[in-house]
């Protein structure tokens, strides 16, 4: 029998670590909230799925994003 809650938690951990690893040391420049540690912040922001990226205008983008996608969202050119 599958454990949906456990499977979702494993998926969340994988997505989070894959996004963090994608940036390497540059991830330190990203404002990051761990919803497992700060659930009230995420509840207040209406974040229910992970990862969720939020731009300066408050628009939310759910799911893992590529450098290209994040570049379009932020207006920054993605590395080639």
pLDDT of residue 32: 86
Residue 46: left (phi > 0), alpha (psi -120 to 50), or beta?
left
Mean pLDDT, rounded, of the chain? 80
pLDDT of residue 59: 92
The C-alpha atoms of residue 11 and residue 80 are separated, in whole angstroms, by 28
Query: Is the per-residue pLDDT at 29 higher than 90?
Result: no
Domain ranges of the chain: 47-80
pLDDT of residue 1: 42
Q: How far is C-alpha 14 from the chain's CA centre?
A: 11
Write the DSSP symbol of residue 49. Answer: S
* pLDDT digit string, tens, across residues 30-67: 888 888 888 899 899 998 888 899 988 989 999 889 88
The C-alpha atoms of residue 52 and residue 24 are separated, in whole angstroms, by 18
Claim: this prediction has a pTM higher than 0.75: no
């Amino acid at each position: 029998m599958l454990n949906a809650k456990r499977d979702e938690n494993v998926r969340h951990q994988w997505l989070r670590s894959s996004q963090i690893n994608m940036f390497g040391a540059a991830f330190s420049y990203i404002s990051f909230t761990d919803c497992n540690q700060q659930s009230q912040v995420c509840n207040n922001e209406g974040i229910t799925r992970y990862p969720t990226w939020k731009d300066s205008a408050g628009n939310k983008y759910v799911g893992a994003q590529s450098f290209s996608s994040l570049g379009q969202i932020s207006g920054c050119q993605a590395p080639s």
